């Protein structure tokens, strides 16, 4: 199949497929006489593997490693696979924690301006300005 059909079947844009090839995540496929890429079933599976990992937020470098484990002797222990997943879990977990703190801070800032004001009276701008002059701010000090 051509790149466009692979794209349609996987829901991944052609340009992204070419990008994965450049990045060494997808093997370069055979070419037609006019230079068009010709993909077979294994390419589709490899791409689906990549997209599935991406949907789990894995970085491309990790996916490259994961994909590499297929080429290794099957008797090798899989602890490095587990380590990659564990890393990803802890990355995601700490992002969640950081964002939750952020949300609280933003809510506190937002509460400074609950009714319509002018710019001069806006509690939000005032709070941001106060923070800029070194004073305590609702968003960061209330924690």
Partner DNA sequence: TGCAAACCCTGTAGCTACTATAAGGTCAAG
Partner DNA sequence: CTTGACCTTATAGTAGCTACAGGGTTTGCA
Q: What does the binding site for DNA look like in residue numbers (CB under 7 A)? A: 2-5, 7, 13-16, 18-19, 32-37, 54, 59-61
Q: Which of 48, 59, 64, 65 binds a copy of itself (CB under 8 A)?
A: 48
CB of 29 to a copy of itself, least distance (A): 17
Residue entry with tokens 């794209």: 7
Residue 72 within binding range of a copy of itself, rule CB under 8 A: yes
Q: Which stretch binds a copy of itself (CB under 8 A): 11-19, 28-36, 90-98?
A: 90-98
Residue entry with tokens 């051509």: 2
Q: Which does 85 bind (CB under 5 to 8 A by kind): DNA, a copy of itself, none?
A: a copy of itself
Number of residues that bind a copy of itself (CB under 8 A): 58
Q: What six digits make up the tokens of 134?
A: 């070194």
Residue 141 within binding range of a copy of itself, rule CB under 8 A: no
**How far, in Å, CA of 29 to CA of 36, rounded?**
9
Determine the angle formed by the axes of helices 123-132 and 79-110, rounding to 10 degrees: 110
Q: CB–CB of 77/96 below 8 Å?
A: no
- Of 32 and 70, the one with the shorter C-beta distance to a copy of itself is 70
CB of 139 to DNA, least distance (A): 17
Using DSSP's 3-state secondary structure scheme, residue 57 falls into coil
Residue 99 within binding range of a copy of itself, rule CB under 8 A: yes
- Of 59 and 123, the one with the shorter C-beta distance to DNA is 59
**How far, in Å, CA of 53 to CA of 57, rounded?**
7
Q: CB–CB of 10/54 below 8 Å?
A: no
């Amino acid at each position: 199949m051509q790149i466009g059909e692979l794209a349609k079947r996987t829901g991944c844009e052609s340009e992204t497929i070419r990008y994965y090839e450049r990045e060494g995540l997808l093997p370069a496929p055979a070419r037609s006489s006019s230079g068009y890429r010709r993909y077979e079933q294994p390419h589709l599976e490899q791409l689906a593997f990549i997209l599935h990992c991406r949907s789990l937020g894995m970085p491309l470098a990790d996916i490259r490693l994961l994909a590499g484990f297929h080429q290794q002797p099957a008797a090798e222990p899989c602890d490095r696979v587990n380590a990659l997943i564990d890393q990803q879990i802890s990355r995601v977990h700490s992002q969640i924690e950081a964002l939750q703190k952020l949300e609280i801070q933003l809510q506190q800032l937002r509460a400074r301006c609950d009714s319509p004001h002018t710019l001069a009276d806006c509690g939000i701008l005032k709070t941001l300005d106060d923070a800029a002059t070194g004073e305590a701010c609702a968003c960061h000090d209330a924690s």
